[in-house]
Structure 1
Amino acid sequence: MPEFRIDRRCPLTPQQAWRRVTDWPRHAAQVPLTGTTVLTPPPTRTGTRFVARTGIGRLAFDDPMEVTEWRPPTAEDPHGRCHLLKTGTFLTGWAEIEVRPHGSGTHVVWREDLRVTRLPRLFDPLTARAGRAVFGLALRRLLSSPSGV
């Protein structure tokens, strides 16, 4: 599967960065033509399920995900980690988000292993580049937006 990694540093605390990068509906606002529906009651935890739907009308697809690890940063342990399993029929794989202190701010790492099920492996490098571009932009916007800290 095509795996990619995105690293970002920001002036937010680990807790602030965590709240932003694990706000699933807010993710959708950063990706064009995408909406997110959380299927389980709050708060987010291991077992939380949500669906990101991307596209318009019949040219849309669902990307259902489940949180399989949920470890928010705390005052005692400022390293946070979230692991998501993609459970769809069109997109499969996983995503992992980590936050950790870096100087007076935070280092955020987003790793993803993404596969478009009907696309031959020949296209894996293109899939990884597209994923890095889309999620890199979303992550930059999530971390730099002036509201929602």
Structure 2
Amino acid sequence: MALFLVERTTALPPAEAWRRLTTWERHTATVPLTRIEVLTPPPSGVGTAFVARTGIGGVGFADPMRVEEWQPPGPDGYARCRLVKTGRVVLGWAEIEVRPLPDTAGSRVRWREDLRVRGLPDALFSRPTALTARPLFARALTTLLADPA
């Protein structure tokens, strides 16, 4: 299990941070060589399915995901969703949490993920996978929160 955590604070209010993070197509612009295709009609919620296709030319892989838990921001500003990876190559889950920052209009965002590749032994590959994935997801999170809507 390649478990990693990325956290960011932003001046964005929780509802806007949530919207930017869960508009799945926006992730295409943040992950190199990857295109996101949402497979279910809007709005997002439990059961929403999408696939991240990563590759160049004819070489690549698909990372299909499904929203398993969906809690958009309520009156307290807290929001959370859990994605499950349902593919043949990439396995695991991701959790996104948005919390209001005390005494500001801003938010704290947590992206926690367990990322595994089928067929690769966890004992050998979990650490290198996490060390590679964490900076990639940190960049994506920073970009999603910073880019104009």
1:79 is displaced (CA, Å) by 0.4
Match of 2:40 in 1: 40
1:50 is displaced (CA, Å) by 0.3
Instruction: Report whether the alignment pairs 1:78 with 2:80.
Output: no
Give the counterpart letter for 1:78 in structure 2.
G
Instruction: Report whether the alignment pairs 1:90 with 2:89.
Output: yes
1:142 is displaced (CA, Å) by 0.5
SS in 1 for 2:66: strand
- Report 1:14-33 matches (<5 A): 14-33=14-33
Among the aligned pairs, what percent are the same residue?
A: 55
1:23 is displaced (CA, Å) by 1.1
Instruction: Encode CA deviations 1:48-67: one digit per residue, 9 max, x unaligned.
Output: 00000011133210000000
Instruction: Report whether the alignment pairs 1:9 with 2:9.
Output: yes
Give the counterpart letter for 2:117 in structure 1.
V
Give the counterpart letter for 1:6 in structure 2.
V
- In 2, the alpha carbon distance for the partners of 1:57 and 1:70 equals 35
- In 2, the alpha carbon distance for the partners of 1:144 and 1:56 equals 27
SS in 2 for 1:8: strand
- In 2, the alpha carbon distance for the partners of 1:65 and 1:123 equals 22
Match of 1:120 in 2: 121
Aligned length: 146
1:120 is displaced (CA, Å) by 2.2
Q: TM-score, normalised by structure 2?
A: 0.95
1:125 is displaced (CA, Å) by 0.3
SS in 2 for 1:124: helix
- In 1, the alpha carbon distance for the partners of 2:38 and 2:50 equals 4
Unmatched segments (≥5 aa) in structure 1: none
- In 1, the alpha carbon distance for the partners of 2:121 and 2:57 equals 25
Q: TM-score, normalised by structure 1?
A: 0.95
Match of 1:56 in 2: 56
Instruction: Encode CA deviations 1:12-39: one digit per residue, 9 max, x unaligned.
Output: 0000100011111101110011101100
- The runs of 4+ residues in structure 1 deviating greater than 6 Å are none
SS in 1 for 2:144: helix
RMSD: 0.9
